[in-house]
């Protein structure tokens, strides 16, 4: 970032204290994205390293983070490098994992390679090429009927995303009765009538999720707290391929960590501020669900600001407010005033993240999202994070918290 760009940043209003340090936030983000973190999937060694690192970050900010644990029934994980190849008259082709084929989240067990002809019909001893949807109860029923006919597995279509990769997923509904392999839709025509060999060893591994929660006391300890959240878990890495998970959501995590550091070094706010680095968002927002239940049991009703994907600025910031009744007027006022002062346009748009769990619990909640260059892709890396997007997210978060605290 150039000095000229730094000079154009809005200065803090009188009494606001230390500004958001974008370079420090970027350093936090990069640390979360190194290969040793392994994509930060719950239950993995990389996830444990990320948890320890974030605890040290909050501790260094002068906070006393606590760990809140919850059960995860199963994380989808490849236990070995997957393989899929096709052979036939005049051709022998190994498909590229994640670019041409991928594991399917509903696949039944595939402990050993399966080799068979691929057919458009459900024939005994063959792979069945399945067109159309591979989701829902109808797909499970189809798998049951094909298994009864002796089919050895299902080949289904999956479109690549904008990155050119088949999306990686770490959760899914219960498996069907047959192995399932996803291919690019155009490859279904290529494999039909040919011999397909596949070994995609997809496991469902139980794990323990861990939320990292720290509280900054306020001058009025009994005032309703302000809750800042971001999820730090990722989709994990493939065997031999790293997923940094930078935009989603090392970016939001880095924003919350830096805001925690800034606020801990300034005069106490009127209201307490809770910082929650959440786990299990990629599993279906499990961490925020567990945290929201704990807050409800303690009779707390915070104003919630959740940051998910702060790696790319597209000219405006998406905000999802909830619940609709009662209208979270303080949050609206705080976000609107902060966006106007900073020159950051806000617009109402879906932000499908942890904010919805808190909204469902009845807490005034706002999900804030700027975006990411890539999503659930190996290309979601620190090099593709826009420093100015991180800066805008940090400044908006700080200003909103201070505005909320000033209103008591």
- The 3 state secondary structure assigned to 272-306 is CEEEEEECCHHHCCHHHHHHHHHHHHCCCCCEEEE
Topology agreement, domain 14-76+205-406 and domain 81-200: no
What per-residue confidence (pLDDT) applies to 33?
98
Query: Is the confidence at residue 12, as pLDDT, over 80?
Result: no
CATH of the structural domain 14-76+205-406, one choice from 1.25.10.10, 3.40.50.2300, 3.10.20.30, 3.40.630.10: 3.40.630.10
Reference 260, options 65, 408, 69, 53; nearest CA is: 65
Query: Is the confidence at residue 17, as pLDDT, over 70?
Result: no
Domain assignments of the chain as residue spans, ordered by start? 14-76+205-406, 81-200
pLDDT band, residue 324 (cuts 50/70/90): low
CA 162 – CA 169 distance, rounded (Å)? 16
**DSSP letters spanning 121-151:** S--TTSEEEE-S---HHHHHHHHHHHHHTT-
Q: Under 8 Å CB-to-CB from 247, ≥6 apart: which residues?
A: 309, 310, 311, 312, 371, 372, 373, 374, 375, 380, 384, 385
What is the average per-residue pLDDT within 295-321? 96
pLDDT band, residue 141 (cuts 50/70/90): very high
Q: Which two tokens stand for residue 325?
A: 């009744």
Would you call the peptide bond into 326 cis, given omega within 30 degrees of 0 as the criterion?
yes
pLDDT band, residue 325 (cuts 50/70/90): low
**Percent of all residues in the chain with a pLDDT value above 90, rounded to a whole number:** 88
CA 271 – CA 260 distance, rounded (Å)? 14
CATH of the structural domain 81-200, one choice from 3.50.30.30, 3.90.1170.50, 3.40.1190.20, 3.30.1360.200: 3.50.30.30
φ/ψ (deg, to 5) at 210: -135, 115
pLDDT band, residue 375 (cuts 50/70/90): confident
What per-residue confidence (pLDDT) applies to 1?
35
Q: Under 8 Å CB-to-CB from 88, ≥6 apart: which residues?
A: 193, 194, 195
pLDDT band, residue 326 (cuts 50/70/90): low
Work out the mean pLDDT of the chain and round it to a whole number.
93
| 297: number of Cβ within 10 Å | 8
| 214: number of Cβ within 10 Å | 21
**What DSSP state is assigned to residue 356?**
H
pLDDT band, residue 8 (cuts 50/70/90): very low
Q: Between residues 394 and 162, which one has the greater pLDDT?
A: 394
Q: Which residue has the tokens 């617009």?
A: 347
What is the average per-residue pLDDT within 256-268? 96
**What DSSP state is assigned to residue 357?**
H
φ/ψ (deg, to 5) at 238: -80, 155
Cα-to-chain-centroid distance, residue 104: 19
What is the average per-residue pLDDT within 13-17? 50
What is the average per-residue pLDDT within 258-274? 96
E strands in 201-289: 202-216, 226-231, 273-278
pLDDT band, residue 327 (cuts 50/70/90): low
Query: Is the confidence at residue 14, as pLDDT, over 60?
Result: no
pLDDT, one tens digit per residue, over 273-307 is 999 999 999 999 999 999 999 999 999 999 999 99
What per-residue confidence (pLDDT) applies to 16?
59
pLDDT band, residue 6 (cuts 50/70/90): very low
Query: Is the confidence at residue 2, as pLDDT, over 50?
Result: no
């Amino acid at each position: 970032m150039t000095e000229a760009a730094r000079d154009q940043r809005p200065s803090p209003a009188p009494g606001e204290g230390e500004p958001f340090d974008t370079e420090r936030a970027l350093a936090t983000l990069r640390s979360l994205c190194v290969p040793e973190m392994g994509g930060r999937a719950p239950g993995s060694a990389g996830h444990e390293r990320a948890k320890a690192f974030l605890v040290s970050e909050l501790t260094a900010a002068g906070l006393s983070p606590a760990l809140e644990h919850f059960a995860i029934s199963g994380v989808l994980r490849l236990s070995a490098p997957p393989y899929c190849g096709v052979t036939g008259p005049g051709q022998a082709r190994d498909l590229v994992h994640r670019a041409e084929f991928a594991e399917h989240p509903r696949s039944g067990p595939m402990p050993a390679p399966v080799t068979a002809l691929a057919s458009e019909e459900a024939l005994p001893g063959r792979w069945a090429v399945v067109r159309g949807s591979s989701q829902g109860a109808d797909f499970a029923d189809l798998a049951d009927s094909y298994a009864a006919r002796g089919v050895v597995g299902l080949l289904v279509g999956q479109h690549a995303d904008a990155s050119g990769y088949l999306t990686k997923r770490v959760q899914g509904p219960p498996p069907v009765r047959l192995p399932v392999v996803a291919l690019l839709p155009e490859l279904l025509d290529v494999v039909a009538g040919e011999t397909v060999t596949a070994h995609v060893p997809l496991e469902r591994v139980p794990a323990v999720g861990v939320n990292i929660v720290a509280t900054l006391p306020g001058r009025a300890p009994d005032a309703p707290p302000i809750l800042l959240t971001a999820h730090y878990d990722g989709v994990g890495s493939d065997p031999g391929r790293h997923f940094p998970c930078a935009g989603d959501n090392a970016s939001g995590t880095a924003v919350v960590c830096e805001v925690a550091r800034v606020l801990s070094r300034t005069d106490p706010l009127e209201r307490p501020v809770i910082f929650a680095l959440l786990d299990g968002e990629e599993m279906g927002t499990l961490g925020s669900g567990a945290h929201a239940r704990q807050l409800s049991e303690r009779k707390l009703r915070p104003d919630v600001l959740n940051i998910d994907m702060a790696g790319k600025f597209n000219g405006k910031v998406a905000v999802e407010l909830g619940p609709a009744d009662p209208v979270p007027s303080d949050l609206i006022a705080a976000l609107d005033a902060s966006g106007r002062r900073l020159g950051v346009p806000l617009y109402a748009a879906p932000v499908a993240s942890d904010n919805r769990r808190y909204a469902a619990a009845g807490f005034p909640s706002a999900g804030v999202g700027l975006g990411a260059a890539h999503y659930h892709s190996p290309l979601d890396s620190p090099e593709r994070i826009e420093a100015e997007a991180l800066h805008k997210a940090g400044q908006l978060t700080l200003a909103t918290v201070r505005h909320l605290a000033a209103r008591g």
